[in-house]
Amino acid sequence: MNRIKKLSFLFLSVIIFITSFSKIYGIEDIKLTTIKKGDVIYYDNSKTKWENVKIYLFEKKDGSEDSGAFEWNDNKGQMNKIDDTDIWEYTLPDDITSNKYNHVIFTNNGKNGNNQTIDLGYLGKGYAYISEGTDSSDQNKQKGYWYLYDKTELRNLLDECKKLEEKYYTSESWATFKTSMEEAQSVLDGEQKIESTDIEGVYKCDYFYKLENLQTAKADLKVDKEILNNKIKETQSIDKDKYTPDTVNKLNEAVKNAQGKYNGEDPLTVDGLKDELSKLDEAINNLKPNKDKLKEKIDEGNGIIDNEDSKYYTNDSVNALKDKVKNGNEVYKNDNATLAEVEKATDEIDDTIKGLELNKKMLEDLVNMAKNADFDKYTDETVETLKGAINASQDLLGSGEITLEKFKNSIESLNSAINGLVEKQGNVNENINNNTQTPSTGSSILLAIILLSVGAIVLLITFVFIKKGPKKNKN
């Protein structure tokens, strides 16, 4: 029973000691832990530049500074320099207990050399601080610094943070997050200074504050939902009439789902945002161009090429149309043709149709042939008709634009006028268009009259001759 009372009293004493220690040094808000075997103590030699660093542990109790002293010797208390740095380290041996030593003296080559005394207030593994109240008369003391050796947690957190992409977050939340990262990086790269707060006797540790700030800033990052909204608006600007109905329906479904995420109450994560953006991009990329207009132009081009009216165009322009129609057919049959390719093929056929050139030389040659006719040989009426057709054709050739219909009508009118020439009486019409020669109407009538007259005379003579006949002898 007495043993239990003693243990309880000891435990209560430890609690009281830790509580009072915390209050004395103004670190109520920082969780205290005590030293134990395996912990590592570090010393920053960058200012003192000692040749050799050793430590001397002791228990400060009831005003006595040497109670239970842990003397250094060749095996204990010798710190080791870390590579080429100014940091020295010492791992606490197995005989160090959690409630025995609470102070350490860093010395230069031994107990009587220069020294730095600190209180061991461990806050998490590997931390110690120099109290501002310790040996304040010595200006060479390094006061108010933390000696940090295990930066794994902050380093890992920073590595995670550096993988995040700014473009997916709101500018406001990213600005806070970026500042926290920069401050955390500074803490990671340098000494961890203790800074006094506005509260007298209370200090804060940069490492813990920056670690917590970065954790908070990372948790508070807000995904920029407007990125998704802008992508939705982009799909709305697409001319969906240019694509096949089935692929447009799939895009509309993706847009509907994205709008649900954008308007939803649940916060949108970066992965969720990327997923919706990916689905929208996939639906956009899978849009198939509507080829109906291309087919119409292909059919229109073939209709012109196969029509007998194609003879009125120049060979070069008709051949150009054939090439564009052929290319259009290849694009039409290509299942992977892009909208740009379809529109280009459609426009090229349309432009080539509009650019078909009428063979004006055909009409010009016909006009010249008609003008070379011997108008004196023909009747005034038919000559005037021909001259009118010639003038109309010349006017058409001189005009800015000539339609196929007007061009055809001009050629037909000129040919009709040429073929309709009638020679004056006594002349034989030589068709100037190299057609088969035919007698004129006036010559035909005259010939008919002559033939009828000759026939009548022959009949009359025959009748008279028969009626008189030879006389018979009367005996």
Name beta bridge partners: 353: none
128 occurs within a structural domain: yes
DSSP classification of residue 391: H
* 48 and 139 fall within a common domain: yes
* 244 and 300 fall within a common domain: no
Distance CA 248, CA 256 (A): 12
Of the candidates 192, 129, 187, which has an alpha carbon nearest to the alpha carbon of residue 155? Answer: 187
Give 81's contacts (C-beta < 8 A, 6+ positions apart).
Answer: 45, 53, 87, 88
23 occurs within a structural domain: no
Q: Are 346 and 393 in contact (CB under 8 A)?
A: no
109 occurs within a structural domain: yes
- The pLDDT value recorded for residue 86 is 77
- The pLDDT value recorded for residue 233 is 95
* 205 and 248 fall within a common domain: no
- The pLDDT value recorded for residue 468 is 52
Three-class SS state of 289: strand
* 84 and 139 fall within a common domain: yes
Q: Is 36 exposed, middle or buried (0-12, 13-18, 19+ CB in 10 A)?
A: middle
Quote the number of domains for the chain: 4
Give kind and range of the element (H or E) at residue 60.
Answer: strand 53-61
Lookup: tokens for 324: 């564009």
pTM of the model as a whole: 0.52
- The pLDDT value recorded for residue 76 is 72
Instruction: Identify the domain boundary among 166, 185, 219.
Output: 219
For CA atoms 21, 23, 26, 31, the dihedral sign is positive
- The pLDDT value recorded for residue 120 is 52
Instruction: Identify the domain boundary among 112, 146, 180.
Output: 146
Distance CA 317, CA 310 (A): 10
82 occurs within a structural domain: yes
195 occurs within a structural domain: yes
Give 437's contacts (C-beta < 8 A, 6+ positions apart).
Answer: 428, 429, 430, 431
- The pLDDT value recorded for residue 443 is 44
* 156 and 61 fall within a common domain: no
107 occurs within a structural domain: yes
Distance CA 122, CA 34 (A): 6
* 130 and 175 fall within a common domain: no
What would the 3-class secondary structure string for 352-380 be? HHHCCCECHHHHHHHHHHHHCCCHHHECH
Instruction: Identify the domain boundary among 168, 198, 219.
Output: 219
Q: What is the pLDDT along the chain (475 residues), one digit of tens a residue?
A: 454 444 343 333 333 233 333 322 333 233 333 456 676 777 777 777 888 888 877 666 665 555 555 555 556 778 888 888 777 888 877 776 655 666 677 777 655 556 665 555 433 334 444 444 444 344 444 443 444 446 788 889 999 999 999 999 999 999 999 999 999 998 777 655 555 556 654 556 667 778 889 999 999 999 999 999 999 999 989 999 999 999 999 999 999 999 999 999 888 999 999 999 999 999 999 999 999 999 999 999 999 999 999 999 999 999 999 999 999 999 999 999 999 999 999 999 999 999 999 998 998 999 999 899 888 999 999 999 989 999 998 988 888 778 889 989 999 999 999 999 999 875 544 555 544 333 333 444 445 555 666 666 656 665 555 555 554 444 3
* 207 and 302 fall within a common domain: no
Of the candidates 181, 389, 450, which has an alpha carbon nearest to the alpha carbon of residue 397? Answer: 389
* 41 and 139 fall within a common domain: yes
Lookup: tokens for 292: 């109906």
* 49 and 127 fall within a common domain: yes
Its domain, for residue 300, covers 292-352
* 172 and 212 fall within a common domain: yes
Distance CA 292, CA 245 (A): 12
- The pLDDT value recorded for residue 211 is 86
431 occurs within a structural domain: no
CA atoms within 13 A on the CB side of 189: 7
* 186 and 281 fall within a common domain: no
* 46 and 123 fall within a common domain: yes
Q: Are 379 and 423 in contact (CB under 8 A)?
A: yes
361 occurs within a structural domain: no
